Amino acid sequence: MSLIDSISLPRSVRLPRVDGLIQWIVPLAIIAIWQLASVTGFVPTRVLPAPSDVVLAGWKLLLSGELVRNIWVSFWRASIGFLIGGSIGFAFGLANGLSQLSAKLTDTTLQMVRNVPHLALIPLVILWFGIDESAKLFLVALGVFFPIYLNTLHGIRTVDPQLIEMGRIYGMTDGELFRRVIFPGALPSIFVGIRFALGIMWLTLIVAETIAASSGLGYMAMQAREFMLIDVVVLSILIYALLGKLADSASRVLERLTLAWHPAFQKR
Amino acid sequence: METALRTSLPETELASRANFAPHARVVREERPVHTSGPPLSIRGLRKSFGDNEVLRGIDLHIPAGQFVAVVGKSGCGKSTLLRLIAGLERIDAGSISFGGEIQPEDIRVMFQEPRLLPWARVLANVEVGLGRDRASGDAHARAEKALAEVGLADKREQWPSVLSGGQKQRVALARALVSRPRVLAFDEPLGALDALTRISMQRLLERVWRDQGFTAILVTHDVAEAVALADRVLVIEEGRIAHDVVVNAARPRQRGSAELAGLEGSILSHLLSADDRT
């Protein structure tokens, strides 16, 4: 009895803070083991440099300004491409979800385009745009388009028809019905699309930058490979991981803010 | 003195209650004190879905402010009748007329599901019921008043997902009441609730009907509920009104009284005998 009390009370107080840290235990443990393996010579440094060497390389690049510049370029490309592709996908999702005519007109075409792996278009895109910014933006936008389009469409189509009938009975205009019933109802599904799209956004960008670019993280990694700077290559990969995590966290925060009504997001 | 009269009357009628048909026109009016509800006249109403003729000619007059229950087996067309009255389906033939002009806000429907917007707080959900008056300055105050009427004033800032089934249905009732409707159509509103919650909801429905005096049409599969709440019970069979039964018991009604139980039994036996014939 007293044992249960002494366990349960501090736990409930401490839990939130522990929850925030608990997710970092595994990544930190991996880095620790990695460092140990490198220091003891178990893993040769030309295969995988020690984390400390990677941090050192990062520090040097940071001082030269190269790292910040490349991250910024990649971040800019990713966000602009995401905004362009995302808004077009969202617009098509809305149009095809709300209008039968629009869906009949465009859905088949979009589904056909969807089945072409967008990275297969890289040769064509290079021919069209060369290796300047528009090539990367085009590819990112194209990659981001489909998850957002599909999930917006799905979200709107699966809004509870009983709620829509209720809205009509209570005299909502089309605009009100959209704002109060259809859009909030589709939002959870739209967020699924956004999180998928964020993953595809990084993937596309890195591939595009690796193949055809003169700046950006992918370019930095490829340059480092040319000069056998394996610590910089590993650094780039780690930065991808961190940026990916950052984008995911941002969408989670947004989800939490807008879906507070959803039982899955309510504090227990 | 008056109450004594009201309660003693049904007792004298009890003996003849078994064969209720002759009674149908000797109605002792058990109306709300003040009625805002319009009368309702239905002539030759028909409705088909494809080849399936659901309603095959309904003729019905509902006096202003009456509480009518509609019972029948599933698929008999009782819900369709309600949806036609509420204007949710198009009429194939015949007519439904309310005495005089009627606005969309004057008719409200309450469904078996609460149909609350999960992303709107309780109070905002009630405000939805104001229809075109949603934007008006007193929308908040009116919604709060309706919420207080169903006893949920303290839940105004909650999300619907944290409410119990009965509470959700009370919010739906507040939403239906907030525009002061003159006709309320209930489509099995208590069907999904547990027995105790049902009884307290029935009392609530009866109370707001007596307070506000709307014309009420309740579709239900529960004959006991119909008898407990309604002035009049319509039994629908195969798209027609097969029986029109007047319930004279004084209000507030004693649940499980011999009188109501007897009436319930005879309506049930009608429903079941129709079953045997088919």
Please report, for the domain that includes residue A86, its CATH number. 1.10.3720.10
Residues contacting A46, CB < 8 A, separation 6+: A230
**In this complex, do A181 and B105 lie within 8 Å of one another by their Cβ atoms?**
no
**Scanning every residue of chain B, which has its alpha carbon at the shortest distance from the alpha carbon of A165?**
B88
pLDDT in tens, A101-115: 999 999 899 988 888
Encode burial over B222-242: b for 16+ CB neighbours within 10 A, e otherwise.
bbbbbbbbbbbbbbbbbbebe
Domain membership flag for residue B84: yes
**pLDDT the model gives residue B24:** 40
Q: How confident is the model at residue A18 (pLDDT cuts 50, 70, 90)?
A: low
| Dist CA A142 CA A86 (whole Å) | 9
Which residues on chain A are in Cβ contact (under 8 Å) with B108? 169
Closest-CA distance of chain B to residue A164, Å: 9
For residue A46, being part of any structural domain is answered with no
Q: With contact defined as beta carbons under 8 Å apart, do A141 and A85 qualify? A: yes
Same domain, yes or no, for B191 and B269?
Answer: yes
Helix (H, G, I), strand (E, B) or coil at B275: helix
pLDDT computed for residue A129 by the predictor? 86
For residues B215 and B63, what is the distance between their CA atoms, to the nearest angstrom?
Answer: 8
Q: Is the pLDDT of residue B21 over 70?
A: no
Q: How confident is the model at residue B276 (pLDDT cuts 50, 70, 90)?
A: low
User: What confidence tens digit (pLDDT) does each residue in B242-254 have?
Assistant: 899 999 888 878 7
Domain range enclosing A98:
77-223
Q: Which of B135, B132, B134, B129 is nearest to B149 (CA)?
A: B129
Are B170 and B269 found together in one domain?
A: no
Q: Has residue A130 got a pLDDT over 90? A: no
Lowest mean pLDDT among A254-258, B25-29, B150-154: B25-29
- Has residue A252 got a pLDDT over 60? yes
How many inter-chain contacts (A to B, CB under 8 Å) are there? 47
A171 to B161: CB separation less than 8 angstroms, yes or no:
no
Q: Write down the pLDDT at residue B238.
A: 87
Q: To 5 degrees, how large is the angle CA A172–CA A175–CA A176? A: 40
* CA neighbours closer than 13 Å in the CB half-sphere of residue A61: 23
A1-10, A15-24, B106-115: segment of lowest average pLDDT? A1-10
User: Are B97 and B189 in the same domain?
Assistant: yes
Measured CA to CA, the distance from residue B110 to residue B108 in angstroms comes to: 7
Subunit contact A180:B115, Cβ cutoff 8 A? no
B93, B189: one domain? yes
What is the mean pLDDT of the segment spanning A65-88?
93
Decide if A198 is inside a domain.
yes
User: What pLDDT score was predicted for residue B275?
Assistant: 62
- Chain B residues whose CB is inside 8 A of the A167 CB are 128
pLDDT tens, position by position, A150-168: 999 999 999 999 999 999 9
Q: Give chain A positions within 8 Å (CB) of B105.
A: 171
Q: Is residue B19 part of a domain?
A: no
Statement to judge: residues B186 and B80 lie in one domain = yes
Q: pLDDT (tens digit, 9 = 90+) per residue, A173-198?
A: 999 999 999 999 999 999 999 999 99
Taking the CA of residue B241 and the nearest CA in chain A, the distance in Å comes to: 27
Contact criterion met (CB below 8 Å) for A96 and A216? no
Residue B6, pLDDT > 90, answer: no
pLDDT higher than 60, residue B259: yes
Portion of chain B with pLDDT greater than 90, in percent = 46
Chain A residues closer than 8 Å to B104 by CB: 171
Contacts of B129 in chain A (CB under 8 A): 170
Q: Is the ipTM of this complex over 0.90?
A: no
Residue type present at position A263: P
Q: Residues A25-53: what's their mean pLDDT?
A: 89
Interface contact A262-B118, CB threshold 8 A: yes
Place of tokens 């029986």: B243
Residue ranges making up the domain that contains B206: 38-102+182-278
Q: What is the mean pLDDT of residues B89-95?
A: 91
pLDDT of B237 above 80: yes
Domain match, B98 and B125 both: no
Residue B3 pLDDT: 39
Q: For position B35, what pLDDT does the model report?
A: 74
Q: Which of B155, B180, B205 is at the close of a domain?
A: B180
Hey, what are B246's tokens?
């007047």
Asked whether residue B145 falls in the same domain as residue B250, the answer is: no
| Residues B129, B82 share a domain | no
Distance from CA of B136 to the nearest CA of A (A): 15
Residue to test with chain B: of A164, A166, A176, most B Cβ within 10 A: A166
Residues B48, B174, single domain; the answer is no
> Which of A6-10, B118-122, B203-207 comes out lowest in average pLDDT?
A6-10
Give the separation between CA A21 and CA A17, rounded to whole angstroms: 7
In Å, the largest CA–CA distance within chain B is 59
* Tokens encoding B53: 């003729």
In this prediction, residue B5 has a pLDDT band, given cuts at 50, 70 and 90, of: very low
- Give the range with max mean pLDDT: A7-21, B17-31, B209-223, B255-269: B209-223
Tally of structural domains, chain B? 2
Q: How far is A103 from chain B (nearest CA, A)?
A: 26
Contact predicate A184/A214, CB 8 Å? no
Residues recorded for chain B? 278
B235 and B151 belong to one structural domain: no
Cα A118 to Cα A111: distance, rounded to the nearest angstrom: 13
In a domain? residue B143: yes
pLDDT category of residue A242 using cuts at 50, 70 and 90: confident
pLDDT of residue B191: 85
Q: Are residues B198 and B277 in the same domain?
A: yes
pLDDT at B10 over 80: no
For chain A, give the mean pLDDT. Answer: 87
Residue A87 lies in a domain: yes
In this predicted structure, what is the pLDDT of residue A16?
A: 55
Write the pLDDT tens digit of every residue in B115-159: 999 999 999 999 999 988 887 888 889 999 999 989 999 999 999
Final residue belonging to a domain, choices B164, B180, B196: B180
The stretch A230-239 carries a mean pLDDT of 90
Task: Provide the pLDDT for residue B7.
Answer: 38
pLDDT value of residue B12: 38
Query: What pLDDT shows up at residue A78?
Result: 92
Let me know if residue A82 belongs to a domain: yes
Amino acid symbol at B192: A
B259 and B144 in a single domain? The answer is: no
Chain center to CA of A93 = 19
